Amino acid sequence: MDTATATATQRRVPRPRADALRNRERIVGAAREMFVEHGSDVPLDEIARRAGVGNATVYRHFADRAELVRQVVLAVTDRVADHAEEGIAAADSGESTAFDALRAFVHAAADERIGALCPMLSAGFDPYHPDLLEGRERLEGAIAGLMDRARAAGQLRTDIAVGDLMIALSQLSRPLPGTACVNVDRFVHRHLQLFLDGLMTPARSELPGEAATLEDLRRH
Amino acid sequence: MDTATATATQRRVPRPRADALRNRERIVGAAREMFVEHGSDVPLDEIARRAGVGNATVYRHFADRAELVRQVVLAVTDRVADHAEEGIAAADSGESTAFDALRAFVHAAADERIGALCPMLSAGFDPYHPDLLEGRERLEGAIAGLMDRARAAGQLRTDIAVGDLMIALSQLSRPLPGTACVNVDRFVHRHLQLFLDGLMTPARSELPGEAATLEDLRRH
Amino acid sequence: MDTATATATQRRVPRPRADALRNRERIVGAAREMFVEHGSDVPLDEIARRAGVGNATVYRHFADRAELVRQVVLAVTDRVADHAEEGIAAADSGESTAFDALRAFVHAAADERIGALCPMLSAGFDPYHPDLLEGRERLEGAIAGLMDRARAAGQLRTDIAVGDLMIALSQLSRPLPGTACVNVDRFVHRHLQLFLDGLMTPARSELPGEAATLEDLRRH
Amino acid sequence: MDTATATATQRRVPRPRADALRNRERIVGAAREMFVEHGSDVPLDEIARRAGVGNATVYRHFADRAELVRQVVLAVTDRVADHAEEGIAAADSGESTAFDALRAFVHAAADERIGALCPMLSAGFDPYHPDLLEGRERLEGAIAGLMDRARAAGQLRTDIAVGDLMIALSQLSRPLPGTACVNVDRFVHRHLQLFLDGLMTPARSELPGEAATLEDLRRH
DNA sequence: AATGAATGAGGGTTCATTCAT
DNA sequence: AATGAATGAACCCTCATTCAT
């Protein structure tokens, strides 16, 4: 019986009320904006105000500040992963060359403010948290797939790995500290473009160190 | 007579005591390390402890946090400018090609933690402060000189300006937030190398936006 | 309907919670006592403890120390103004002579610790703050009215103005610094009485300077 | 033998060096000025700077802040006592009436900033300290003598005592808090004059409480 | 004797988090 | 479920006092 099933379900994970869900979304959205605009250490009360809820409501949805940050990271991770998968599709369908797809992805990720989230890895943030696991793996897998295709097409130098791209991409698109991240874009896309040029074959120099793999990101 | 002159001079601005000077150095050093490791908003008390002095001693030497940050910035600026000028000398003497000198400079600047200074452009920091004026101008002039030589040698693409290099260099060598910045170097030099490859002639792509000049750095 | 209107009004500026109101009162009360006893620069933490609240609660109600001081000033101002208006009523109704009403007011103001407010004119305090405007005007108007009546009755010498009375009253009833202000009252009322005797007609001496008007109080 | 005697004397209380004496004077003077101008809680370092000596020199002369305050109080006490004794002499010589001498003394004491010293009785100050004993007794004795003469001349009401005058005089001539004590004088002399009028015979009212004697000043 | 430097305790204020409505 | 209020710990900075030159 439907009702019974529903009841049973609710008992385990009671379905959130519609307004609660809406609040949750608004909080994550407000946090993302404020992190980008004012850095990751904005007071939670400010986020609550921007979201139009009381401060305690934030705690009803997120156990503590760290969890809120994590959820914001996760949201952005998902959106960036979407872009990477779209890039793969474009490459596979022949809509664009693999390297062009990679280029497009890199610029799209910057526009999604992937770099703005970097500060959230700030002191006390645990990048190995289970909540982030799935999202990260999907993102990394997609980026790896994109790079594989570009490498297979002979366009991407072979001495770099997915970690190299992710770190450099994040760093180059991080907002300059103390800025509202507004006109930084003027530069960011230039620098990403230059970096991408450096990724092309033939390699123009020998790289020091070893390719940064997924595992390396884990071990800092 | 030199001694007499020196004595007279000292009388007006009495030479700081040896222990005070030593403390000042230790504070700047501790601050530099902690800024690199934990960001520029570490508690001053921690810096004091790391420097092995009482908290108030920090305030005796630096009127407030802003001034301490400024002095750390200045110290690093000076060291990086030294490297740039050495690069110019090497290029002019024919000891190395201009682009190789540029490469060496970029890596040296990263080793001096130029990226650690980026957080010091944080909110509330005044990059136009008189204390920094001279140092910045020397640094910018030296980097411009180095790039001019590489461009004159036909090795450096012509669609970039000194601001592009300084920003990208800073960003790529910034410590990952929350990291002890220890093994980040493994990656940093790889990414700089890749970026430098992208700077070489012939240009492999068209850059969006306009070259970031010194003035652009002023106007973020 | 009244209730409806009230409800609507409350909706815009929601009625403060009962406990918050009680806390606010307790803080103002505690501050008043401690200002009187220990001067207006007592640690806010002490006030919080005396009021039985956490220190941060003080800041929730009053943005900073200045605002707390202002509210204490305002509270006492209001109570003293009440006394002055009662004096006017007594004089007008013939219940007592105008000068007797003035006498009664002066002693009542001292009992309300008007002198304790004097330290609140301390450095950094803005006596022109909008919050205080209305209260001050009411107080000054009432005192002036009282003096006018006594002067009209030929009992009050004509070479003094409202500022003279307010300043002298405040000074004479100020707590001796460092005293618990407990038995000071024994003296205060004597001295006020002596001063009042000096205010009576006929004048026994010529006064130096000019009558202190309301404006003079503004311009110290 | 002179030298021997001198030596013996020095051994007990070594004669202070001339420059040390001068420093001591300068510190007391600077402290008096700054107390008057900025209140009794000015930083000791400021006083040292105003006196043109190092901060530690203050501690060589005065064990702690309290002692410095005490010495400033003592210095003013002495000067005010001088005025009182001059008043007695004037009264005894018939140069002026006893009450006129009292009036002159009161105004002179105000000009010596006797009221400015009142804040030095601030929390933590011990008015019973031996250092102050002699000075206070001389001052009180002189004021009492002056009042006795005015009372004997039938000009001063009999229901007041020396404590009444000292307290009221101090209070009325205290600087308004937060002011540089500059134009307060305009009012002070008016209010003192009014108060003095109230002290004259015949008494115009009955005083509450009991006359404040010297002992009462001790027992707050 | 005199000084500049160093110190630690304390005050004001903010903020993440918990409590009571 | 949602909220406003309350809390205490932490940080920045000041200052009386002590130390080393």
Chains B and A touch (3+ CB pairs under 8 A): yes
User: How many angstroms is C1' of E3 away from CA of B41?
Assistant: 35
Q: Which chains touch B (3 or more CB pairs under 8 A)?
A: A
Q: Give contacts of C219 with chain D, Cβ < 8 Å.
A: 183
- Contact at 8 Å (CB) between D178 and C204? no
Mean pLDDT of A68-73: 92
Domain tally for chain A?
A: 2
Closest CA to the C1' of F6: that residue is C57
Supply the pLDDT for residue A50: 95
The tens digit of pLDDT for each residue in C198-213 reads 999 999 999 998 887 7
B72 and B176 in one domain?
yes
Query: Residues with Cβ < 8 Å from D184, sequence gap 6 or more?
Result: C220, D175, D176
Q: Which of C36, C62, C88 is the last residue of a domain?
A: C62
Average pLDDT, chain A: 86
Q: Which of A66-70, B141-145, C70-74, C176-180 has the lowest mean pLDDT?
A: C176-180
Supply the pLDDT for residue D186: 74
Supply the pLDDT for residue A18: 78
Confirm whether any atom of chain F, the nucleic acid strand, is less than 7 Å from CB of A97: no
Burial class (CB in 10 A: 0-12, 13-18, 19+), C146: buried
The tens digit of pLDDT for each residue in C151-164 reads 999 999 999 999 89
SS3 B156: strand
Residue C6 within a domain: no
Residue A211 within a domain: yes
Q: Does C124 touch chain D (CB under 8 A)?
A: yes
Question: How far is the alpha carbon of D84 from chain C, nearest alpha carbon, in Å?
Answer: 21
Which nucleotides in chain E lie closer than 7 A to a protein CB?
1-21
Mean pLDDT of C47-51: 95
Two tokens, residue A170: 């994040």
Supply the pLDDT for residue C119: 65
- Contact at 8 Å (CB) between D29 and D51? yes
C-beta atoms of A191 and B209 within 8 A: no
Supply the pLDDT for residue D181: 47
Residue A100 within a domain: yes
Burial class (CB in 10 A: 0-12, 13-18, 19+), A49: middle
Confirm whether any atom of chain F, the nucleic acid strand, is less than 7 Å from CB of A96: no
- In one-letter notation, the amino acid at residue A107 is H
Whether C182 has a pLDDT exceeding 60, the answer reads no
Q: Which of C39, C62, C85 is the last residue of a domain?
A: C62
The tens digit of pLDDT for each residue in A167-204 reads 899 889 887 765 544 456 678 999 999 999 999 999 99
Two tokens, residue A94: 């022949």
Supply the pLDDT for residue B186: 74
D211 and D114 in one domain?
yes
Confirm whether any atom of chain F, the nucleic acid strand, is less than 7 Å from CB of D41: yes
CA D18 remoteness from chain centre: 27
Average pLDDT, chain D: 86
D26 and D82 in one domain?
no
C101 and C19 in one domain?
no
The tens digit of pLDDT for each residue in D123-153 reads 667 778 898 889 989 999 999 999 999 999 9
Whether B3 has a pLDDT exceeding 60, the answer reads no
Closest chain B residue by Cα to residue A38: B123
User: How many angstroms is C1' of F20 away from CA of D71?
Assistant: 29
Closest chain D residue by Cα to residue C173: D171
Residue B102 within a domain: yes
Question: How far is the alpha carbon of B200 from chain A, nearest alpha carbon, in Å?
Answer: 8
Mean pLDDT of C3-13: 45
Residue C203 DSSP code: P
The tens digit of pLDDT for each residue in D44-88 reads 999 999 999 999 999 999 999 999 999 999 999 999 999 999 999
Whether A73 has a pLDDT exceeding 50, the answer reads yes
pLDDT band at B119 (very low <50, low <70, confident <90, very high): low
CA A56 remoteness from chain centre: 27
Instruction: Supply the CATH number for residue C47's domain.
Output: 1.10.10.60
SS3 C88: helix
Residue in A167, A200, A219 closest to B191 by CB: A167
C-beta atoms of B167 and A179 within 8 A: no
D46 closest-nt by C1' vs CA = F15
A163 and A79 in one domain?
yes
More confident residue, B37 or A97: A97
Two tokens, residue D57: 């020199």
Mean pLDDT of C28-49: 90
Mean pLDDT of C84-99: 98
Question: How far is the alpha carbon of B212 from chain A, nearest alpha carbon, in Å?
Answer: 7
Supply the pLDDT for residue A123: 63
Q: Does A191 touch chain B (CB under 8 A)?
A: yes
Supply the pLDDT for residue C91: 98
Q: How far apart are CA B165 and CA B196, in angstroms?
A: 9
Whether C24 has a pLDDT exceeding 70, the answer reads yes
C92 and C43 in one domain?
no
Question: How far is the alpha carbon of D108 from chain C, nearest alpha carbon, in Å?
Answer: 14
Residue A29 within a domain: yes
Closest chain D residue by Cα to residue C181: D220
User: How many angstroms is C1' of F20 away from CA of B19?
Assistant: 10
Mean pLDDT of D193-199: 98
C69 and C57 in one domain?
no
Whether C52 has a pLDDT exceeding 50, the answer reads yes
D115 and D40 in one domain?
no
Residue B6 within a domain: no
Q: Does C168 touch chain D (CB under 8 A)?
A: yes
pLDDT band at D15 (very low <50, low <70, confident <90, very high): low
Confirm whether any atom of chain F, the nucleic acid strand, is less than 7 Å from CB of B43: yes
Chain A contact probe: residue of B190, B192, B201, B213 with most A CBs at under 10 A:
B190
Closest chain C residue by Cα to residue D185: C209
Angle CA A170–A174–A178, to nearest 5: 160
Supply the pLDDT for residue A121: 63
Whether C97 has a pLDDT exceeding 90, the answer reads yes
Chain B contact probe: residue of A36, A111, A194 with most B CBs at under 10 A:
A194
The tens digit of pLDDT for each residue in D164-182 reads 999 899 889 887 765 544 4
Supply the pLDDT for residue B218: 58
Residue A6 within a domain: no
Confirm whether any atom of chain F, the nucleic acid strand, is less than 7 Å from CB of C193: no
pLDDT band at A212 (very low <50, low <70, confident <90, very high): confident
Q: Does C9 touch chain D (CB under 8 A)?
A: no
C-beta atoms of B194 and A124 within 8 A: no
Q: Which of A122-126, B173-177, B206-210 has the lowest mean pLDDT?
A: A122-126
Confirm whether any atom of chain F, the nucleic acid strand, is less than 7 Å from CB of B212: no
Chains C and B touch (3+ CB pairs under 8 A): no
Closest chain A residue by Cα to residue B173: A171
Q: How far apart are CA C79 and CA A67, in angstroms?
A: 51
Query: Residues with Cβ < 8 Å from D133, sequence gap 6 or more?
Result: none
Residue in D41, D122, D164 closest to C187 by CB: D164
Q: Which of A40-44, A181-185, B105-109, C142-146 has the lowest mean pLDDT?
A: A181-185
pLDDT band at B180 (very low <50, low <70, confident <90, very high): very low
Closest chain A residue by Cα to residue B118: A177
Query: Residues with Cβ < 8 Å from B191, sequence gap 6 or more?
Result: A164, A167, A168, A171, A195, B172
Q: Give contacts of B120 with chain A, Cβ < 8 Å.
A: 177
pLDDT band at D16 (very low <50, low <70, confident <90, very high): low
Q: Does B218 touch chain A (CB under 8 A)?
A: no
Residue D48 within a domain: yes
C-beta atoms of D177 and C119 within 8 A: yes
Q: Tell me how many residue pairs between chain C and chain D have CB atoms under 8 A apart.
A: 156
pLDDT band at B181 (very low <50, low <70, confident <90, very high): very low
The tens digit of pLDDT for each residue in B51-76 reads 999 999 999 999 999 999 999 999 99
Question: How far is the alpha carbon of B3 from chain A, nearest alpha carbon, in Å?
Answer: 48
Supply the pLDDT for residue B96: 97
SS3 A114: helix
B152 and B103 in one domain?
yes
C150 and C74 in one domain?
yes
Q: Tell me the C-alpha to C-alpha distance, in Å, between residue B188 and each of A206, A207, A216, C180.
A: 14, 11, 13, 66
Instruction: Supply the CATH number for residue B134's domain.
Output: 1.10.357.10
Q: Give contacts of B116 with chain A, Cβ < 8 Å.
A: none
Q: Tell me the C-alpha to C-alpha distance, in Å, between residue B183 and each of A219, B37, C119, C194, D202.
A: 9, 12, 59, 82, 94
Whether B203 has a pLDDT exceeding 90, the answer reads yes
Supply the pLDDT for residue B126: 82
Supply the pLDDT for residue C6: 44
Q: Give me the residue label for tokens 């009320």.
A: A17
Supply the pLDDT for residue D1: 43
Q: How far apart are CA D58 and CA D23, in angstroms?
A: 9
Whether B8 has a pLDDT exceeding 50, the answer reads no
Whether C181 has a pLDDT exceeding 60, the answer reads no
Supply the pLDDT for residue A215: 63
The CA-based dihedral angle spanning residues B52, B55, B56, B62, taken in that order and rounded to the nearest 10 degrees: 80
Q: Does A200 touch chain B (CB under 8 A)?
A: yes
pLDDT band at C10 (very low <50, low <70, confident <90, very high): very low
A21 closest-nt by C1' vs CA = F1
Whether D13 has a pLDDT exceeding 70, the answer reads no
Mean pLDDT of B95-111: 97
User: How many angstroms is C1' of F11 away from CA of B34?
Assistant: 16
Supply the pLDDT for residue B116: 76
Q: At what angle do helices A98-111 and A162-173 cross, to 10 degrees?
A: 40
| Residue B55: domain span | 12-62
Supply the pLDDT for residue C17: 75
Supply the pLDDT for residue C213: 72
C-beta atoms of D195 and C196 within 8 A: no
D198 and D91 in one domain?
yes
D 110-169 residues, CB < 7 A, strand F: none
The structure's pTM equals: 0.83
Whether B4 has a pLDDT exceeding 90, the answer reads no
CA C80 remoteness from chain centre: 5
Whether C9 has a pLDDT exceeding 60, the answer reads no
Supply the pLDDT for residue C174: 82
Whether C11 has a pLDDT exceeding 50, the answer reads no
C51 and C69 in one domain?
no
pLDDT band at D91 (very low <50, low <70, confident <90, very high): very high
